[in-house]
């Protein structure tokens, strides 16, 4: 069974930066989708950024383009999210997720992902 472990959350002031890390283990597929989601109280869980471990460029939602950057290690078992220029709208619980999907389906909704980390809280104050 796939296990995902997240770290790096915290509290920062607007304009600050955080780096979230996700470490995956136990995935039996050669390639799969990995992504970061976030959820605020009373809101639906939304995808933030995704990558396919088989190659290809990452995908970012418009609201984080130019501010957030994904990176992976050579083994493609980690997925870090560098978050710069944070604003209060970025405040949420952030989750790492993985799924045995092909690249074309990485950009699916949260319900399309099978494996989830425990979440790490990001709080951005004004």
Q: What is the pLDDT of residue 31?
A: 86
Q: State how far the alpha carbon of 58 is from the alpha carbons of 13, 16, 81, in Å.
A: 27, 23, 11
Which residues, other chains included, contact 10 with Cβ-Cβ below 8 Å and sequence gap of 6+? 18, 121, 122, 123
Q: Is the pLDDT of residue 15 over 90?
A: yes
Q: What is the pLDDT of residue 124?
A: 98
Q: Is the pLDDT of residue 100 over 80?
A: yes
Please give the residue that has the higher pLDDT: either 94 or 54. 94
Question: Cα–chain-centroid distance for residue 72?
Answer: 11
| Alpha carbon distance 19, 45 (integer Å) | 20
Q: What is the pLDDT of residue 103?
A: 86
CA-wise closest residue to 81 among 16, 15, 38, 21:
21
Instruction: Provide mean pLDDT across the span 74-88.
Output: 92
Q: Is the pLDDT of residue 71 over 90?
A: yes
Q: What is the pLDDT of residue 76?
A: 79
In this predicted model, what pLDDT tens digit does every residue of 19-69 receive, in sequence order?
Answer: 999 999 998 878 889 999 999 999 999 999 999 988 889 999 999 999 999
Which region among 1-10, 55-64, 86-95, 100-109 has the lowest average model confidence (pLDDT)?
100-109
CA-wise closest residue to 72 among 60, 62, 58:
58
Complete DSSP assignment for 50-111 = EEETTSS--EE-GGGTTTEEEE--TTS-B-EEEE-S--GGG-EEEEEEEES--GGGSS--GG
Q: What is the pLDDT of residue 59?
A: 95
């Amino acid at each position: 069974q796939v296990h995902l472990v997240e770290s790096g959350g915290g509290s920062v002031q607007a304009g600050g930066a955080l780096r979230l890390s996700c470490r995956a283990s136990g995935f039996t597929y050669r390639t799969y989708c990995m992504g970061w989601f976030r959820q605020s109280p009373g809101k639906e869980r939304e995808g933030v950024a995704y990558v396919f471990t088989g190659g290809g460029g990452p995908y970012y939602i418009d609201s984080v383009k130019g501010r957030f950057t994904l990176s992976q290690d050579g083994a493609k078992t980690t997925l870090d999210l560098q978050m710069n220029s944070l604003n209060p709208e970025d405040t949420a619980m952030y989750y790492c997720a993985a799924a045995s999907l092909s690249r074309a389906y990485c950009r699916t909704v949260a319900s399309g992902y099978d494996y989830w980390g425990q979440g790490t809280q990001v709080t951005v104050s004004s």
